[in-house]
């Protein structure tokens, strides 16, 4: 990447001498509309005034700014030469005084990559939409600042925009919009509370906006710093592009929002600190959402254009609540540096599920957490790049890559274990003290451990050393001995760790005993909780119980660790996994057999057989969709090449059977339809998909809406049945931004060497595509079904890596490096090429090496799993 990578040491040195009193930022975005100026980047004017103090008068420092050009720089009334003080990413500041005023007038570039101020033109109606996205350090693409989380300050924004646009910021508008010289409108916002640069935000454009409000009477004694009124009255809004308005279910979003605000006010005892609460669903978004205080941004795919399952609504509700919890964990109290990113993301991931289960209709949230979120954590924790939850973040590139399964989901799982360890009341009381003690400030691990120690009376330093400051995942296996009467003589939980990360942790676990009933159900008849420590822990409470058919360690999913089984339990699951009556226990069993498959301990074919045998009986739609995703991964990466054709046919046959069996119009029917399309390959399968598209075939209750049409068409395209003309006709039917992305993906999926060459060139050799179209092109290019067409790109991939990383923004660089890695190759040629590149490029950017190393590890894991499957 360009020379813009702020290091932790630079940030510490700057924070040691600077404190920021205020920002005043003026943006003129009228240039977003109208014709572009040839091939030059489209720019907007950005003027920033920063008042700040310096503890060492005479010292030097720098402000951050990524901009094509700077018009003027003035420091304490002195005009500085931009050509001398601005190097493209930093503004050098010398001779500081005790109190300073910096004024920077610049031309900043609109973004096509989702970083900074992103500009999107809707192909459906030609309207232009803007939004900002900064985390971890892209506000400097929009205005000059000190880009690090511990230099908080109040911000006052002023935005000059086209007439009629909706313009929103973190705070409420300061009066009505005023006419702008030369046309348009000027919107000025009230100053914010002290916040970090990366969570400031602007959204502007002809958005469709819906309004509501939240009211809550104050509880006696409830409150935070600065006093409060007797009633909380928070204006709410939800917005999306005008062309999506017909699909927008704002009422459902407002319902979850109000439920969340009720929950967090009741449990946090600190009123929502940022006035209003806007939620903007924006196009071409790189993330799921972002917690900008007062103006949360979401990817617009959460506005559902077609029928989706309950799991999609559950996931959206979880994201709404995740971002809302950030208003306290992250925005009110912010980590000092990205080492402690978990202080906001782990808590938000945990609180999202916690509040969802207790405050909304989505009571299955912990099942989804156990089955999906923790799967992400277990994968990340077994990569060579694994790290402690409290990470060692050297610079901004490190920070960008640490938004991973460890920081989010392992951290959240550890917090769930913490609640079991210290108790719910002590945990929530610690949160309340944490907010009141550190409001509008910055914290580290030590600050959180201090309040947890106060409320729990536990040794939090020892707990932290085991859970937060070491990497790796433990495995928990039951060992059962029986007496002469067949009763349990002793049940012990064995704990192991990988040699590279040998820490054996303290686990608060539940152990469940299950047996088959006369009716064929697999039900729990005994349960005991125990504190597992060291290599072996006896669960004395279960001695004397009747022989179980299944022993489930970590029943109720209290801790974070891989579940293993004794031989008898595993044999029970082979024949009766679908007979587990408790949905959480069943989800845990599914997750455990998937872990065995990934680790090369269960043949992939056996896992797929379990999915085919029991998947149709799975009542949880979220779990079912996870099974489908994992089955696709197993087929593509874990099944031995000689078994792949048979496995694919069996999966397609089974998927079609379950599709026809599913309740008409149900979410399960929709899930099986999507899965069938993903694995279909025979001539009969493809004829059925084509018939469902043209109306000559029908499955009772299945509504083939526009989104499902594209799903079917991608398979037909990848299999060479549908050509460019068919894709063009579908795009004409769906002439929208979503339709364009689907079109690009389908075009790149066609099984042609010439097509793959064009797609490769557009992503690797050109920078003209937006982030969303890069993503769509890569997805179409990297089809696992035609490995022969991807094989010629193994060596070109490694040859292009350093140039791609040096010339693209980090977001696009990450997409290209991950998305084009030669994952779908049989044999060791791609693995050898990855090893050769890693050995030959020891000085490549650490973040780039990490991405390659992670993909290399996935490939090696797949090859090991294929060896296991080949022996079956």
- Residue with structure tokens 């409108």? 185
Look at residue 332 and give its three-state secondary structure.
coil
Of 530, 559, 588, which residue constitutes the final position of a domain?
559
- Which tens digits make up the pLDDT trace of 766-790? 999 999 999 999 999 999 999 999 9
Distances (CA, A) of 738 to 312, 382, 654, 731, 783: 17, 35, 31, 10, 20
Per-residue confidence at 36, pLDDT binned at 50, 70, 90?
A: confident
User: Where on the phi/psi map is residue 544: left (φ > 0), alpha (ψ -120 to 50), or beta?
Assistant: left
Per-residue confidence at 226, pLDDT binned at 50, 70, 90?
A: very low
Q: What is the DSSP letter of 226?
A: T
- Which tens digits make up the pLDDT trace of 469-507? 999 999 999 999 999 999 999 999 999 999 999 999 999
Distances (CA, A) of 286 to 44, 298, 379, 772: 22, 9, 21, 8
Residues 855 and 824 in one domain: yes
Whether 728 is in a domain gets the answer no
Whether 585 is in a domain gets the answer no
Can you tell me the distance from the alpha carbon of 577 to that of 586, in angstroms, rounded to the nearest whole number?
7
Residue 418: partners with Cβ closer than 8 Å, 6 or more residues away:
427, 452, 463, 467
Backbone angles phi, psi at 395, to 5 degrees: -160, -175
Strand ranges inside 60-134, DSSP E: 61-64, 69-75, 78-80, 90-93, 99-109, 116-121, 128-133
pLDDT average, residue stretch 103-132: 97
Residues 531 and 385 in one domain: no
- Residue with structure tokens 């959460």? 302
Whether 739 is in a domain gets the answer no
The two structure tokens encoding residue 555: 């029943």
Distances (CA, A) of 396 to 147, 337, 373: 10, 10, 25
- What angle do helix axes 583-598 and 604-614 make, rounded to 10 degrees? 160
Per-residue confidence at 217, pLDDT binned at 50, 70, 90?
A: confident
Domain hosting residue 694, numbered range:
600-704
What CATH number is given to the structural domain containing 44? 2.60.40.1730
pLDDT average, residue stretch 202-218: 94
Pairing of strands 277-282, 295-299: parallel
Mean of the per-residue pLDDT values of the chain? 95
Indicate whether 811 pLDDT > 50.
yes
pLDDT average, residue stretch 531-547: 96
Q: What is the DSSP letter of 218?
A: P
The number of folded domains in the chain is: 5
Q: Residue 328: which of 177, 215, 439, 483 has the closest Cα? A: 439
Look at residue 771 and give its three-state secondary structure.
helix
The two structure tokens encoding residue 625: 């969709």
- Which tens digits make up the pLDDT trace of 582-639? 999 999 999 999 999 999 999 999 999 999 999 999 999 999 999 999 999 999 999 9
| The predicted structure's pLDDT at residue 218 | 66
Residues 83 and 176 in one domain: yes
Whether 718 is in a domain gets the answer no
Residue 602: partners with Cβ closer than 8 Å, 6 or more residues away:
593, 596, 868
Residues 460 and 489 in one domain: no
Return the percentage of the chain with pLDDT > 70, whole number: 98
Q: In the β-sheet with 18-28, what is the strand arrangement from edge to edge?
A: 78-80, 69-75, 99-109, 43-54, 18-28, 155-161, 185-188, 178-179
Look at residue 134 and give its three-state secondary structure.
coil
Whether 588 is in a domain gets the answer no
Radius of gyration, alpha carbons of the chain: 28
pLDDT average, residue stretch 577-582: 97
Residues 146 and 263 in one domain: no
Strand ranges inside 725-854, DSSP E: none
Query: Is the bond preceding 72 in cis, omega lying within 30 degrees of 0?
Result: no
Whether 717 is in a domain gets the answer no
Residues 428 and 456 in one domain: yes
Strand ranges inside 449-548, DSSP E: 475-482, 488-496, 507-516, 522-532, 536-538
Residues 241 and 143 in one domain: no
Residue 261: partners with Cβ closer than 8 Å, 6 or more residues away:
214, 216, 234, 272, 277, 324
Q: Residue 614: which of 643, 581, 638 has the closest Cα? A: 581
- Which tens digits make up the pLDDT trace of 271-281? 999 999 999 99
β-strand partners of 145: 64
User: Catalytic amino acids?
Assistant: 323
Q: Residue 270: which of 232, 296, 235, 320 has the closest Cα? A: 232
Residues 536 and 486 in one domain: yes
Whether 841 is in a domain gets the answer yes
What CATH number is given to the structural domain containing 347? 1.10.390.10
- Which tens digits make up the pLDDT trace of 659-696? 999 999 999 999 999 999 999 999 999 999 999 999 99
Of 687, 704, 721, which residue constitutes the final position of a domain?
704
| The predicted structure's pLDDT at residue 224 | 45
| The predicted structure's pLDDT at residue 424 | 93
- Which tens digits make up the pLDDT trace of 260-269? 999 999 999 9
Indicate whether 3 pLDDT > 70.
no
Residues 427 and 330 in one domain: yes
Whether 356 is in a domain gets the answer yes
| The predicted structure's pLDDT at residue 4 | 82
Of 440, 473, 506, which residue constitutes the final position of a domain?
473
Residues 670 and 611 in one domain: yes
Residues 674 and 772 in one domain: no
| The predicted structure's pLDDT at residue 2 | 42
In sequence order, what DSSP letters do the residues of 699-715 get, joined into one string? -TT----HHHHHHHHHH
Q: Residue 296: which of 124, 131, 498 has the closest Cα? A: 131
- Which tens digits make up the pLDDT trace of 383-434? 999 999 999 999 999 999 889 999 999 999 999 989 988 999 999 999 999 9
Look at residue 70 and give its three-state secondary structure.
strand
| The predicted structure's pLDDT at residue 219 | 60
Question: Poorest-confidence range of 33-37, 288-292, 512-516, 734-738?
Answer: 33-37
Residue 376: exposure state from Cβ atoms within 10 A (0-12, 13-18, ≥19):
middle
| The predicted structure's pLDDT at residue 225 | 43
β-strand partners of 167: 204
| The predicted structure's pLDDT at residue 229 | 47
Residues 139 and 6 in one domain: yes
């Amino acid at each position: 990447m360009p020379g813009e990578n702020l290091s932790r040491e630079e940030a510490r040195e700057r924070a040691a001498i600077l404190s920021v009193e205020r920002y005043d930022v003026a943006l003129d975005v009228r240039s977003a509309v109208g014709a572009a100026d040839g091939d030059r980047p489209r720019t907007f004017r950005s003027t920033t005034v920063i008042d700040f103090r310096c503890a060492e008068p005479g010292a030097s420092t720098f402000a951050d700014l990524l901009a094509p050009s700077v018009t003027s720089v003035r420091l304490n009334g002195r005009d500085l030469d931009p050509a001398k003080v601005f190097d493209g990413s930093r503004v050098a500041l010398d001779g500081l005084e005790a109190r300073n005023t910096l004024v920077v007038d610049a031309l900043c570039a609109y973004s096509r990559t989702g970083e900074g101020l992103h500009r999107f033109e809707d192909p459906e109606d030609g309207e232009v939409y803007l939004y900002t996205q900064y985390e971890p350090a892209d506000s400097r693409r929009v205005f000059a600042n000190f880009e690090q989380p511990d230099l908080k300050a109040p911000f006052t924004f002023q935005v000059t925009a086209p007439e009629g646009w909706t313009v929103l910021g973190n705070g409420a508008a300061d009066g009505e919009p005023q006419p702008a010289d030369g046309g348009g409108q000027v919107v000025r916002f009230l100053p914010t509370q002290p916040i970090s640069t990366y969570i400031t935000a602007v959204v502007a454009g002809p958005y469709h906006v819906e309004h509501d409000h939240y009211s809550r009477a104050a509880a006696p004694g409830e409150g935070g710093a600065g006093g409060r009124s007797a009633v909380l009255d928070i204006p709410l809004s939800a917005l999306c592009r005008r062309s999506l308005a017909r699909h927008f279910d704002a009422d459902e979003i407002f319902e979850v929002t109000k439920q969340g605000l009720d929950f967090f006010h009741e449990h946090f005892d600190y009123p929502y600190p940022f006035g209003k609460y806007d939620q903007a669903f924006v196009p071409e978004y790189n993330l799921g959402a972002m917690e900008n205080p007062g103006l949360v941004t979401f990817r617009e795919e959460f506005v559902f254009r077609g029928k989706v399952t309950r799991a999609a609504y559950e996931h959206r509700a979880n994201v709404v609540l995740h971002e809302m919890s950030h208003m306290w964990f992250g925005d009110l109290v912010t980590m000092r540096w990205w080492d402690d990113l978990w202080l906001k993301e782990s808590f938000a991931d945990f609180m999202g599920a916690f509040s969802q289960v207790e405050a909304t209709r989505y009571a299955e949230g912990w099942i989804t957490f156990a089955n999906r979120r923790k799967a992400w954590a277990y994968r990340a924790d077994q990569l060579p790049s694994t790290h402690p939850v409290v990470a060692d973040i050297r610079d901004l590139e490190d920070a960008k890559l640490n938004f991973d399964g460890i920081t989010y989901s392992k951290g959240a799982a550890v917090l769930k274990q913490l609640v079991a360890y210290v108790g719910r009341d002590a945990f929530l009381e610690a949160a309340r003290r944490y907010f009141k003690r550190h409001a509008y400030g910055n914290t580290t691990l030590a600050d959180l451990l201090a309040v947890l120690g106060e409320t729990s009376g536990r040794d939090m330093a020892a707990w932290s050393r085991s859970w937060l400051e070491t990497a790796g995942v433990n495995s928990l296996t039951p060992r059962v001995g029986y007496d002469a009467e067949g009763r349990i003589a002793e049940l012990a939980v064995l704990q192991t760790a990988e040699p590279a990360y040998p820490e054996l942790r303290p686990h608060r676990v539940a152990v469940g005993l299950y047996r088959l009933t006369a009716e064929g159900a697999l039900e729990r008849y005994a349960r005991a909780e125990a504190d597992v420590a060291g290599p072996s822990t006896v669960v004395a409470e279960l001695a004397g119980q009747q022989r179980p058919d299944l022993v489930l360690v970590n029943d109720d999913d209290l801790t974070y660790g891989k579940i293993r089984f004794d031989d008898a339990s595993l044999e029970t699951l082979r024949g009766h996994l679908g007979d587990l009556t408790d949905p959480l226990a069943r989800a845990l069993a599914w997750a455990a057999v998937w872990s065995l498959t990934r680790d090369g301990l269960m043949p992939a074919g056996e896992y797929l057989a379990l999915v085919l045998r029991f998947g149709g009986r799975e009542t949880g739609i979220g779990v079912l969709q996870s099974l489908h995703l994992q089955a696709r991964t197993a087929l593509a990466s874990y099944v031995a090449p000689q078994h792949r054709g048979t496995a694919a046919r069996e999966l397609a046959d089974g998927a079609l059977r379950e599709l026809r069996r599913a309740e008409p119009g149900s979410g399960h029917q929709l899930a099986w339809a999507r899965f069938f399309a993903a694995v279909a390959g025979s001539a009969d399968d493809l004829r059925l998909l084509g018939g469902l598209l043209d109306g000559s075939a029908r499955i009772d209750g299945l509504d083939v809406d526009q989104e499902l049409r594209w799903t079917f068409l991608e398979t037909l395209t990848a299999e060479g049945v549908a050509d460019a003309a068919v894709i063009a006709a579908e795009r004409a039917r769906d002439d929208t931004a979503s339709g364009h992305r689907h079109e690009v993906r389908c075009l790149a999926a066609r099984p042609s060497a010439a097509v793959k060459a064009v797609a490769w060139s557009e992503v690797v050799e050109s920078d003209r595509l937006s982030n969303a179209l890069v993503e769509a092109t890569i997805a179409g290019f990297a089809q696992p079904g035609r490995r022969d067409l991807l094989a010629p790109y193994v060596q070109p991939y490694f040859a292009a890596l350093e140039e791609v990383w040096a010339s693209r923004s980090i977001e696009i660089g990450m997409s290209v490096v991950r998305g084009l890695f030669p994952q779908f190759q049989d044999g060791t040629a791609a693995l050898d090429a990855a090893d050769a590149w890693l050995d030959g490029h020891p000085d490549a950017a650490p973040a780039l090496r990490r991405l390659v190393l992670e993909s290399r590890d996935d490939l090696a894991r797949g090859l090991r799993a294929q060896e296991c499957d080949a022996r079956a």
